Chain A
Amino acid sequence: MKRRDFIQQTSATAALITLGGLGLQSFTSGSKTTKITILHTNDVHSHIDAFGPEDGRNPNQGGVARRASLVQNIRNENPNTLLLDAGDIFQGTPYFNYYGGELEFKLMSMLKYDAATIGNHDFDNGVDGLLAQLPHAKFDFLSANYDFSNTVLDTFVKPYKTFNKDGIKIGVFGLGIELNGLVDKSMYKETVYLDPVETAQEMTRVLKEDEKCDLVICLSHLGYHYKNAPSKISDLSLAKATKNIDLIIGGHTHTFLPKPTVTKNSEGKNVLVNQVGCYGINLGKIDFYFDADKNKAAEGTSILV
């Protein structure tokens, strides 16, 4: 009986998506709004301290201690908040050379990061170097297209994770960049890179149909877009080739965007793609509002960027 209810509920959700707001909300009551806040960083590259006042490019910007205050304020305002990182946590300041990523992971744990994906530089001390630092991370590493079965990282990295925030189910999965040619084989060893589009299609099916997530987020280290190699898989091409992803949080290309990109998926529906440069200079903040109000729901989803 339970199983049957589940199937029916899925169909109903599908109907809602197909029909938009058409006349179904007459059974709902109240006008509760639930706000889910997604905070994100990428390519922090061991930039624990803020840039100094003499820095030629980013004076007085960044710094984990300042990011911590900001994140804490946002969480106080809205406890339904997730904090995510899109990879390349390692490498870039002597902190990494001296401590191998220990401090980065400890601080991210103190900031209560919920999940991160793995960037190419996170292999800089090899799969063994990453494994050695994992005890310092109180958050999950997500990667759906790196098969670590034949490496020491086997079972330490999950393809996806779901979170429940005030009745809203959020599914997050990770995607990494092709390592061959980018990272020395002796570092990534027997890690197998799987096709990001096929992996994403499988992940979105699992998260939407099996896990019944209300929100699907892809944590990607594929790169925003490759102007000189448009056929290379990137966040923009991934968005176009897939469906059921609400937000792609990107990294790798150190792209500073004036605002989050709104693009269309394979079904012509909106997908948000965002990336916040690098070195902890910015924090991305995406708010999702869920509403029971029948009139609001009937109007579809408005996107303000």
Chain B
Amino acid sequence: MNYKHLFFIVFAFLTLGCKQEKLSLTKIEGKQINISDSLAIHPDIEAFIKPYREHVNKDLDSVISYAVDTYSKKDGEYNTAIGNLFADAVIQESNIVFNQRTGKNIDMVLLNHGGIRAIISKGNISTRTAYEIMPFENSLVVVEMKGKTIQDSLVNYLSKAKRAHPISGLKIKMDNNFNITETSINNKPIEANKSYYVVTNDYLYNGGDRMTFFKTNDSLYVLNYKVRNALVDYFKKTDTINPVIDDRFIQTK
């Protein structure tokens, strides 16, 4: 060890001798500065952002539909007006894309209750409303599922979840003990061996909200169509929205 040090000293002595200055790191100071409103707004940067901001706001705030009432996902037990609107909008708009690509039609949709992130307030609906309901970037996917799988896993999941997960195309009746008494797709009994096309979002397809039944199926159609854009497209086509709680998922007392 001593020898090693001596070696280094001698070596350093010889080589540093002709060096003018050796800078050493002597002190480090670290902190964070809050970007608060006490800081001046940089006029050039502000001026640069302005036209972008105005364009975005103008587009976001342009009225694309009208809501006759205020709708919240808390209003309703196993189906809600806003959830039904959400599901109906997604199945209608995604089917246009799916049908164009495959010639087939979507049979049902399942989304998640937690995915409705805001209420729809009575009055004008803008693109911003769609951003509030669906701030995430999730996209729609279509899964081909056998009737038996839908009955055994998807429907079973919904009866156990006891939440108003948005559905459309599918109908479920439960008794007092949450046993399934009646199910249908497009108002017909579910056929065990028939293939159905189920639209959902990529988050749920990948097992979100413990919906583990999607990924086990073979055929997946990635629509590259954002959930939010389906909502925007639906609102643009629909002059007035007036969704209601119906009988698509109910418990008979």
Q: Which residues of A contact B (CB under 8 A)?
A: 8-9, 11-12, 14-16, 18-19, 21-25, 27-30, 32-34, 48-50, 60-70, 72, 91, 94-95, 98-99, 103, 106-107, 110-111, 124, 167-168, 184, 186, 214-215, 246, 257, 259-260, 272, 274, 276, 280-293, 296-297, 299-305
Which one of B19, B32, B60 has the greatest number of beta carbons of chain A within 10 Å? B32
Q: A53: shortest Cβ distance to chain B, in Å?
A: 9
Out of B31, B32, B45, name the residue touching A110 (CB < 8 Å). Answer: B45
How many of chain B's residues have a CB under 8 angstroms from any CB in A?
48
Contact with A along B74-106 (1 / 0, CB 8 A): 000000000000000000000000000000000
Residue of B nearest to A96 (CB): B137
> Contact: A290 with B24, CB < 8 Å?
yes
- The CA of A103 and the CA of B39, in the complex, are separated in Å by 22
Q: A86: shortest Cβ distance to chain B, in Å?
A: 13
Say which one of B9-17, B65-73, B189-197, B243-251 lies at the interface with A. B9-17
- The CA of A274 and the CA of B14, in the complex, are separated in Å by 39
> Contact: A70 with B39, CB < 8 Å?
yes
Q: A143: shortest Cβ distance to chain B, in Å?
A: 22
Given contacts A15-B12, A66-B37, contact A28 B45 (CB under 8 A): no
- The CA of A22 and the CA of B2, in the complex, are separated in Å by 14
Contact with A along B16-46 (1 / 0, CB 8 A): 1101111111111111111111011110111
> Contact: A107 with B49, CB < 8 Å?
yes
Is residue B5 within 8 Å, beta carbon to beta carbon, of the partner chain? yes
Residue of B nearest to A11 (CB): B11
B contact residues around A110 at 8 Å (CB): 44-45, 48
Is residue B119 within 8 Å, beta carbon to beta carbon, of the partner chain? no
Given contacts A12-B11, A95-B52, A107-B45, contact A286 B21 (CB under 8 A): no
Sample 29 A-B pairs with CB under 8 A, ordered by A number. A15-B8, A19-B12, A24-B13, A24-B22, A25-B22, A34-B23, A60-B37, A61-B34, A61-B36, A65-B42, A69-B42, A94-B56, A98-B52, A107-B49, A110-B44, A215-B25, A260-B32, A274-B30, A276-B32, A284-B30, A285-B30, A286-B28, A286-B29, A286-B30, A287-B27, A291-B24, A304-B28, A305-B29, A305-B30
B contact residues around A28 at 8 Å (CB): 19-22
Given contacts A12-B15, A283-B35, contact A290 B8 (CB under 8 A): no
> Contact: B32 with A280, CB < 8 Å?
no
Residue of B nearest to A33 (CB): B26
- The CA of A48 and the CA of B48, in the complex, are separated in Å by 11
- The CA of A181 and the CA of B66, in the complex, are separated in Å by 39
> Contact: A302 with B28, CB < 8 Å?
yes
> Contact: B26 with A297, CB < 8 Å?
yes
Is residue B162 within 8 Å, beta carbon to beta carbon, of the partner chain? no
> Contact: B22 with A285, CB < 8 Å?
no
- The CA of A293 and the CA of B222, in the complex, are separated in Å by 64
- The CA of A68 and the CA of B45, in the complex, are separated in Å by 7
Is residue B53 within 8 Å, beta carbon to beta carbon, of the partner chain? yes
> Contact: B24 with A280, CB < 8 Å?
no
> Contact: B34 with A259, CB < 8 Å?
no
Out of B21, B27, B35, B48, name the residue touching A281 (CB < 8 Å). Answer: B35
Main secondary structure of the interface of B (DSSP, over half): mixed
> Contact: A289 with B49, CB < 8 Å?
no
- The CA of A253 and the CA of B4, in the complex, are separated in Å by 44
Out of A23, A106, A184, A305, name the residue touching B48 (CB < 8 Å). Answer: A106
- The CA of A274 and the CA of B29, in the complex, are separated in Å by 12
> Contact: A301 with B35, CB < 8 Å?
no
B contact residues around A66 at 8 Å (CB): 35-37, 39-42
Is residue B131 within 8 Å, beta carbon to beta carbon, of the partner chain? yes
- The CA of A162 and the CA of B166, in the complex, are separated in Å by 53
Q: Which residues of B contact A (CB under 8 A)?
A: 5, 8-9, 11-17, 19-37, 39-42, 44-46, 48-49, 52-53, 55-56, 59-60, 131, 137, 202, 222
A contact residues around B42 at 8 Å (CB): 65-66, 68-69, 72
- The CA of A285 and the CA of B52, in the complex, are separated in Å by 29
> Contact: B35 with A61, CB < 8 Å?
yes
Residue of A nearest to B127 (CB): A94
- The CA of A216 and the CA of B231, in the complex, are separated in Å by 48
- The CA of A70 and the CA of B155, in the complex, are separated in Å by 56
> Contact: B9 with A23, CB < 8 Å?
yes
> Contact: B40 with A260, CB < 8 Å?
no
Given contacts A65-B46, A186-B222, contact A303 B55 (CB under 8 A): no
Q: A213: shortest Cβ distance to chain B, in Å?
A: 12
- The CA of A34 and the CA of B21, in the complex, are separated in Å by 12
> Contact: A65 with B21, CB < 8 Å?
no
Out of A69, A124, A214, A300, name the residue touching B23 (CB < 8 Å). Answer: A214
Given contacts A291-B24, A301-B26, contact A65 B9 (CB under 8 A): no
Out of A63, A98, A305, name the residue touching B31 (CB < 8 Å). Answer: A305
Given contacts A11-B11, A27-B19, contact A304 B29 (CB under 8 A): yes
Q: A165: shortest Cβ distance to chain B, in Å?
A: 12
Instruction: Across the A-B interface, give the 8 residue pairs with the lowest CB-CB distance, nearest first.
Output: A68-B42, A297-B24, A260-B30, A15-B8, A289-B27, A290-B23, A15-B12, A291-B26
